[in-house]
Amino acid sequence: KRAKKTNPEHLVRQILAGNITALSQAITLVESKNNLHLKTANHIINNCLPHSGNSIRIGITGVPGVGKSTFIEALGNYLTTKNHRVAVLAVDPSSSITKGSILGDKTRMEDLVKNENAFIRPSASGDSLGGVAQHTRESIVLCEAAGYDVIIVETVGVGQSETAVHSMVDFFLLLKLAGAGDELQGIKRGIMEMADTIAINKADGDNLKAAKLAKVEFNRALHLYPLKVSRWQPKVVLCSALKNEGISDIWNVVKLYISQTKENNSFSDKRKEQNTYWFLQTINDALKQEFYSNSNIEIELQKRILQIENSKISPFTAARDLLQLYYSSKEI
Ligand code: GDP
């Protein structure tokens, strides 16, 4: 089926009917830099919003090579056998350089790509983390309206992208490998705190013994953190994405988490908080974008940086100067 016209009402109807071409088209509008496209995108999102929200949103992170795509393929295929419809999105700001390193690579998730109950969409390229994250957040709404009831958002374990993904999902899964004993070394504290579950992947063959030891160590570490507001005690599980082992166990943990957090209302509380967060974040991003793309500001900014470097002006005075300049340019 193809979306015949690009008029927004028609696109919305097609999205609600589960048309993949229409869904892709709408996401492209969301990612566009063209103001007219963005207006259309907003219209579509607002009309999809009443049909969204009825899904489980899962964030997945882990360093390159940990097995994210192998895992998502295994989980995605498993879920479609359980009558779920799975959408896979990505927050990958590095894609602006590598043109979509996470999902853009066509050799990744070869099976899931062919699965008619799965929808895979790479991160848009050429955008900042803020931009990519916001588009993904909006794409979630569109995917849900199109009937996808499990949304997986993948990110690489670098920089701020994990925080962004954490703030748009219900359940955050950290994929790890068993190391050479000191499992906790080099792991960012913030990421451990965000994780609702740690899955130690590649728990197969010669790795199995080390993986079991790692499980004990991670469990011990997780118990040192204060209990989350949701009262959920993060779990550690073993899996082999390659051999399709432990996948159903992880899904059971997700289901347990969802039922537990729905029961004590922390599920909906978290979603409300996330909506407020994205509301404020979008304003912040837009203001910053407007400020820094002002041509006057661009020139003056460079001048001030030189003055600061030469100790001609204090950074605070320079900042106030620039803001003043910006506001006065708005008044005319
Ligand atoms: P990503 O960069 O995190 O997406 O990792 P990939 O999914 O591309 O996997 C990196 C490599 O690890 C590939 O060669 C996979 O075949 C391999 N791999 C992934 N999962 C497992 C697993 O459970 N066990 C083993 N032994 N290898 C795996």
Domains in the chain and their CATH numbers? 1-50 (1.20.5), 52-264 (3.40.50.300), 294-331 (no CATH)
Which of 242, 244, 245, 249 gets mutated to test ligand 1 (max ligand atoms within 8 A of its CB)? 242
Q: What is the pLDDT of residue 108?
A: 75
Q: What is the pLDDT of residue 45?
A: 96
Q: What is the pLDDT of residue 83?
A: 97
65 lines ligand 1 (CB under 6 A): yes
Using 50 as the pLDDT threshold, list the residues of the chain that sit under it. 1-5, 96-97, 99-100
Separation of alpha carbons 152 and 169, rounded Å: 8
202 lines ligand 1 (CB under 6 A): yes
Structure tokens at 75: 């989980």
> Which atom number of ligand 1 is nearest to the Cα of residue 63?
3
> Which atom number of ligand 1 is nearest to the Cα of residue 207?
26
Separation of alpha carbons 2 and 162, rounded Å: 35
The residue whose C-alpha atom lies closest to atom 7 belonging to ligand 1 is: 67
> From ligand 1's centre to the CA of 6, what distance in Å?
40
Give CA separation, 292 vs 28, 287, 288, 310, in Å.
Answer: 25, 9, 6, 23
> From ligand 1's centre to the CA of 110, what distance in Å?
14
201 lines ligand 1 (CB under 6 A): yes
Query: Which ranges of 195-265 would DSSP assign to H, the alpha helix?
Result: 208-222, 247-263
Q: What is the pLDDT of residue 263?
A: 96
Handedness of CA 290, 139, 196, 129 (dihedral sign): negative
Q: What is the pLDDT of residue 2?
A: 46
Q: How many residues does the chain have?
A: 332
204 lines ligand 1 (CB under 6 A): yes
> From ligand 1's centre to the CA of 49, what distance in Å?
36
Which of 66, 69, 70, 239 gets mutated to test ligand 1 (max ligand atoms within 8 A of its CB)? 70
Burial 20-50 (b: 16+ CB within 10 A, else e): bebbbbbbebbbeeeeeeeebbeebbebbee
Q: What is the pLDDT of residue 320?
A: 96
Separation of alpha carbons 122 and 117, rounded Å: 17
67 lines ligand 1 (CB under 6 A): yes
Q: ipTM more than 0.90?
A: yes
Q: What is the pLDDT of residue 104?
A: 53
> From ligand 1's centre to the CA of 182, what distance in Å?
21
Q: What is the pLDDT of residue 186?
A: 62
> From ligand 1's centre to the CA of 69, what distance in Å?
7
> From ligand 1's centre to the CA of 68, what distance in Å?
7
